[in-house]
A and B are shown apart, each in its own frame.
Chain A
Amino acid sequence: MQDALVFQGVSVAYRDEPVLERIDARVPVASMCAIVGPNGAGKSTLIKAALGLVQLVAGRVTVLGGTMAQRRAQVGYVPQRESVDWEFPISALEVVLMGSYGRLGLLRRPGRAERTEATECLEQVGLAALADRQISELSGGQQQRVFLARALMQRAQLYLMDEPFAGVDAVTERAILQVLGSLRERGCTIVAVHHDLSTVCERFDQVLLLNKRVVAAGPVATAFTADALQRTYGGRLAVLPEAASDRGATSSGC
């Protein structure tokens, strides 16, 4: 098994509006892949398509060599922070415990073993002291890290993350990167929607440039070129990192 995640001719439409058209891409095992593209390019939708949260019009997604339904237990998910209501009456530890629900089934409750594990997950993201806080009392970066801890609790092989670095400060960023690094050392694969073009090279080794179709995909060194970025973002070249645009149209952005 070479690839952790394979898209074959995946198309998705909301109502009659096509959002993703014939996506073909593969993410190798134990890599970190960034999904990059302008707003409305379908980045979150691609993640949701992999998870089975949106219906495919055509195509197939292969996860860790099987279908999503077969491999669910091995896939962790970190949604966008804005996707939930942070006023919800629940503590940080309880959110993390949700990561164990997949193993527990419908009727069993998390017990002492799960609580211990959840505390460890919170420790890994540096939030052990805030375990009993109601989630609205956490800062944005801390909330993001709670989501990450919940994904760790899933003990997954493949992690799908929707903008894990959105709106977090330098401390949180470092904490998240550290966790992702150790996950990768264990052989886990990480696929993340990413917005900050200037940090793609240092954090990821694979990249998927997306604008409703796949513009370029593969190792950062070959796929992340100024030319490909221009085709992804259209005329809005001003957003390109200087490194990429300086080196001419064909060289890598790194």
Chain B
Amino acid sequence: MAELLRLLSLQDSSTRVVMLSTAGLAIAAAMVGSLAMLRRRALVGDAVAHASLPGICVAWFVAGDRSLAVLLLGAFVLGLACMATMALVQRLTKSREDATTAIAISGFFGLGIVLSRMIQNQPGGNRAGLDGFLFGKAASAVTSDAWLVLAVAGLVVAIVLALRKEFGLLCFDRDFAVGLGRPVHRLDGLLLVLVALVTVPLMAALTWLVRFTKLGKAMRAVAQNPTAAALMGIDVERVIGATFFIGGALGGFATVVYAIYNQTVNFQMGYRMGMDAFIAAVLGGIGNLPGAVLGGLMIGVVRAMSDGYIEARWTNSVVFGILILILVFRPAGLLGAKLREKV
């Protein structure tokens, strides 16, 4: 409790800097995010976030360095590559923008998983604890990293404010902007760069929470073995509460995005999504993050196929049928993680 008070009253200088930088980042992200949304590119940030995984891996391969600046640079470069890919696919084929985004997300995230596996399988002492290093050494680097993040956020805010009227015009009426002789391609590109600039640090912040804060450590400890965690003096109930709080907040965020995307809200809209998420997790393997992603993709494809080729009213039966088959024949899920008790 005393620790919490100390945290909330900002007595720590590093806490103040971190708070300041995350708040700055949140402001920048909100500004860019609303522009991206109005430009109907709300999911681009998501694609970039997924592309940052291979980016971090590549940066690690190339530089062999684990400083936040280098890793973020790698993530940023691959984020740009991801957006360039989307633009290219968009130009060469007739795919819709959301389909293009989906292609980019799955492609780049898949690449990232392969690369991170390669890093983990590398022989030698260098690989030791890469998991922990993926986003920099928090303990020593927090303050300077936070300043870096704050500077990036400030830059983004300044650019958006300076070009506010141009972005508004571009989002509202692109043809008219072309008619005025505006460099719309460059403005569009700039907007995407801004999305990349705010998405990558935000994801790093979430990972940082889980990996390096006391709360994150406690979460992982409780997940591994609640009893042992309690014996080590961790308040298990509080950690579970905090985890559910974060999960709920993320769920709320997802709901807002989903509702904005579909432009409708109803009382039961979360039910089916929840069931699908559960089935996806079981299909991929409970407690296995890549498995959950794989399961989610498969469930999505199965739903679309079933809607198209069988009949929409059978789709739920097909999906739940898959759940039953998995539970009977491969209870550990496709990626076969060992079943373990989870909070």
Contact = CB atoms under 8 A, between A and B. Distances in A.
Interface string A48-90: 1001110000000000000001001001010100011100111
B172 A85 contact: yes
Interface residues of B, number: 17
A95 B172 CA distance: 9
Contacts of A90: 168, 172
Main secondary structure of the interface of B (DSSP, over half): helix
A150 B166 CA distance: 16
A107 to B, nearest CB: 6
Contact of A98 (B38, B172, B178, B181): B172
A106 B163 contact: yes
A247 interface: no
A53 B175 CA distance: 7
B166 A102 contact: no
Given A72-B180, A88-B38, A101 B169 contact: yes
Given A84-B173, A98-B172, A98-B173, A75 B166 contact: no
B165 interface: yes
A187 interface: no
B176 interface: yes
Contact of A88 (B163, B172, B178, B179): B172
B181 A69 contact: yes
Contacts of B175: 48, 51, 53, 77, 79, 83
A18 interface: no
Contacts of B166: 101, 106
B179 A51 contact: yes
Q: Which of A69, A83, A101 has the most CB of B within 10 A?
A: A101
Nearest to B179: A77
A90 B172 CA distance: 9
A119 B55 CA distance: 50
A98 B169 contact: yes
Nearest to A69: B181
A174 interface: no
A109 interface: yes
A88 B182 CA distance: 20
A48 B174 CA distance: 13
A106 B173 CA distance: 16
Interface in A107-128: 107, 109-110
Contacts of B179: 51-53, 72, 75, 77
Given A72-B181, A88-B171, A98 B176 contact: yes
23 contacts: A48-B175, A51-B175, A51-B179, A69-B181, A72-B181, A75-B179, A77-B179, A83-B173, A84-B172, A88-B38, A88-B171, A88-B172, A94-B168, A95-B172, A98-B169, A98-B176, A101-B166, A101-B169, A101-B182, A106-B166, A106-B182, A107-B163, A150-B176
Given A69-B181, A107-B163, 11 more contacts: A51-B175, A51-B178, A72-B180, A75-B179, A77-B179, A79-B173, A83-B175, A88-B38, A98-B176, A102-B180, A150-B176
Interface of B: 38, 162-163, 165-166, 168-169, 171-173, 175-176, 178-182
Interface of A: 48, 51-53, 69, 72, 75, 77, 79, 83-85, 88-90, 94-95, 98, 101-102, 104, 106-107, 109-110, 150
